[in-house]
């Protein structure tokens, strides 16, 4: 049991940095997703305003 805490302290910085990286990447991906959604909405409104046909959704 004496070897348990040094192992935890050795792994803690790696795990914490990994969690920070995961949260940052998650925020970036979600921001990109919501930005794309907002741009698609604006484009759709502009196409409707100009009387252009709706853009087909790519699968």
pLDDT in tens, 11-56: 999 999 999 999 999 999 999 999 999 999 999 999 999 998 888 7
Tell me how many degrees the CA angle 19-25-31 measures, rounded to the nearest 5.
135
Q: Helix (H, G, I), strand (E, B), or coil: what is residue 15?
A: helix
What pLDDT, on the 0 to 100 scale, is given for residue 54?
85
What pLDDT, on the 0 to 100 scale, is given for residue 55?
80
Residue with tokens 């919501």: 34
- pTM of the entire structure? 0.65
What pLDDT, on the 0 to 100 scale, is given for residue 56?
75
Q: How many CB atoms lie within 10 A of CB 54?
A: 9
What is the token pair recorded at 10? 């050795």
Rounded CA gap, 45 and 31, in Å?
21
């Amino acid at each position: 049991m004496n070897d348990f805490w040094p192992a935890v302290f050795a792994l803690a910085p790696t795990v914490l940095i990994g969690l920070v990286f995961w949260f940052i990447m998650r925020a970036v991906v979600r921001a990109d997703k919501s930005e794309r959604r907002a741009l698609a909405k604006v484009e759709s409104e502009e196409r409707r305003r100009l009387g252009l046909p709706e853009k087909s959704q790519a699968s």
